[in-house]
Structure 1
């Protein structure tokens, strides 16, 4: 290729879609996009290959289907592949999965990802929640030291529901009642000083002591110091749970009292609100998936599309669990 032709050729790179870029990189590596995804899927499955029906490991190869190796269980006769029993079972276009995982890490909207990958927006919406259904569960098991807790309220949304229990709102809309009411959904966020974060969708309306008992005790050391604002539910919960508690009176302008403050968790709230805003109101039934998605991005422990695809299949060897 002549120098002038090369300059013209590379000048077109900026106009390539994400799908075209991944396809080009795969060609340069000598592998097709589907081959790369299938190799990753098969590699994850080999670590714990067993029959999903009877859990037997006595099996043999049983041909190929849809690009994947099939297996037959000797005791029960069931056939399966590496995706059986995973969130990605029965989905198509495996060659696009790594590229789509990159779209998730880039917080791309449903329509933007569909445009980049050349598929229908319903496909990328379905993939979004399949990819997040298991990956979102990789969370810290316990908070240590000083843990801050605070609640965040978002409007309850029935987006996508076939039957609404109230008049429809457009683009998120506004609450009809002042203050926090049953029109809002409470998100409880607890975060320790090492950045380990847990969140819970506790339900509609104000946070209650009973909801705190359901969410926090299994996730906190007994010697943890719980720091909160002046909400009345926290001290009552802490006394009954036997947890040390300290409150800062934000309404009185007291934001810091020694090492006690809630600035860490409030900063997380700010990042979460800013990140949720472009979605124009997340459907309440999908809210846990979005919280898990935000945690993946904020923790920055899954940094590559290949790692996210592995996490979708339940493989978290690169993550440090606490």
Structure 2
């Protein structure tokens, strides 16, 4: 069985609030741990009333306290939004609280609309240009492999597993150059999947952290007892994606049976583009699609995304998925 992990945006449902979303993230992490998932990652997004995970390190602290063994991490921290020193302190504190369990995935995108730069008082385009240097500095704050004028406390000496995230060749090439494990966002940006993984593997340079290339690929996975149940459950995720891409993001909506058939051809095509990294259906269907995706990508791990309006249905989806891959 290929190792499975979970990517969570901490979705806020229509009629719900941030407090409920954070509570449900903790319950989802507990379910993932019980089902044998390796990691539980929270992604940094800002300025959306439907996503409550923007303060990633705070959300991870909550999740760490309600779990015992599952690795917790950022999938990821959008480093141009931050100062590397502050991130070193935050994740150093997480490592002190949950030793040996903390991952730090790093991305270059802002994770929000351009107005975020104004809110952060930063020129994010310019900050993104310094992303490679900031990654190296952040790693040095943990490891001390570069002589820096100040030590992060907490941070220095923390046993953080650093990852590079990406949806293009840039992240793949940087991960290869630095000898970091690489996670590809194929669940929402599959176009460059094959080229990015090939570049990462071909250009990989061993490091103290990693001797050989290691890939985790993301999939949208929603498993139900039947095909029909899973497709209905997945319609909430489909609605949220269409609204995001058409400039009308909001809270996670309830499911609509037959939703895709109601969409114009352009929206249907937009959703169809994601099918390469989508496994929605019964346990047998989900297992077959994950297996085909792993064969194509030769991924070392799979991280599953995909929200349902009913939090209990998502917990059940994780259980069914894990069980299907063992069977």
TM-score, length-scaled by structure 2: 0.27
Q: Which has the larger radius of gyration?
A: 1
TM-score, length-scaled by structure 1: 0.27
Bigger proportion of residues as helix? 2
